[in-house]
Amino acid sequence: MDRALDKFGNDIAIAFSGAEDVALIEYAKLTGRPFRVFSLDTGRLNPETYQLFDAVEKHYGIRIEYMFPDAVEVQALVRSKGLFSFYEDGHQECCRVRKVRPLRRALKGLRAWITGQRKDQSPGTRSEIPVVQVDPVFEGMDGGIGSLVKWNPVANVKGHDIWNFLRTMNVPVNSLHAKGYVSIGCEPCTRPVLPGQHEREGRWWWEDAKAKECGLHKGNVKQQKEEDVNGNGLSQSHANGDATTVPDIFNSPNVVNLSRTGIENLAKLEDRKEPWLVVLYAPWCPYCQAMEESYVDLADKLAGSTGMKVGKFRADGEQKEFAKSELQLGSFPTILFFPKHSSRPTIKYPSEKRDVDSLMAFVNALR
């Protein structure tokens, strides 16, 4: 922080929206140097977020430089597609109008900016962010590629260490954190996370795991040539399950690894000898990784005397279209119950709760 503020002076600013950014402001204050803070007011934030903005301004004696979306663009979007079009066709268009374009305007007045990105926030898109970089997407006041430097001072800091720091310094935080919210964005696109879920899963929960960036940090999303990517957006090594790059998960003697033929046969059986619980997963998916412990624990509890089988089927890559058309795959992970002695359709686990108790309640209600 000291190096960034010393080098760029009044031409650098902290991008503020959440807990990590409060830590950045506190770090900036500790350097004793003057600093600027800006934030994006999308018009769709939670009341608690606006209360946080006010509390931070009063605590540090600063004025946050708010950036707003263009009123004409917002009006055109809402009039043509409604207030909640992102639930139907994805969040990117709304984020582009309400967040990305206002950010672009803000950065055109700077030579550098400071973000609160951490590597462990989103393993799918942020695992390789550096502490300092030439911004790969946006331009600074001088214009052109390379005209903006992006600092990510807490890139290598763990989330629990950020929170230990915030508690120690007794600084303002968003009251939504106490209600189960971890990653907080606009109100319609943010919800609390549940046991067994990754923190980023509370954002745009109706979309696939790889889409969890709004465009502010678009440079984190690696671009690959079309011929190197399959229909799932994965490199061929991921699609083929290259163990050197994507270690498998849900590894337990009590979790049966089903092949394509195995799960096809299981689905066709009308008189199963025992009920089955099967997770459709992708080992690279952070939300599958987050539930691994609870699913393996469930399998261990069900092993032996219950007469219940627990399995897994890797449904990414070339298996994804089959899983979507034949196994009700929506997004990863999808959990299916195959009833015993029945020709009833397979039952899809409807809840986002992936802790052991919730999964066990689902199993007990059906078997």
Q: Please, which residues bridge with residue 234 across strands?
A: none
- As given in the structure block, the two tokens for residue 209 are 């795991």
H or E element, residue 366: helix 356-366
Task: Name the H helices within 66-192.
Answer: 71-81, 86-89, 92-95, 101-107, 159-169
Closest CA to 348 of 337, 356, 363, 357: 337
From edge to edge, which strands make up the β-sheet containing 309-314?
256-257, 309-314, 276-281, 334-338, 347-348
Instruction: Confirm if 175 and 51 have CB atoms less than 8 A apart.
Output: yes
Whether 226 contacts 233, CB under 8 Å: no
CA distance 213 to 122: 9
Beta-bridge partner residues of 113? 13, 150
Tokens of 169: 């310094």
Task: Give CA–CA dist 319/68, Å, rounded.
Answer: 43
The answer to whether residues 68 and 57 touch, using CB atoms and an 8 Å cutoff, is no
Catalytic site residues?
285, 288
Long-range CB contact pairs, 240-244, < 8 A, 24+: 240/317, 241/283, 241/314, 241/317
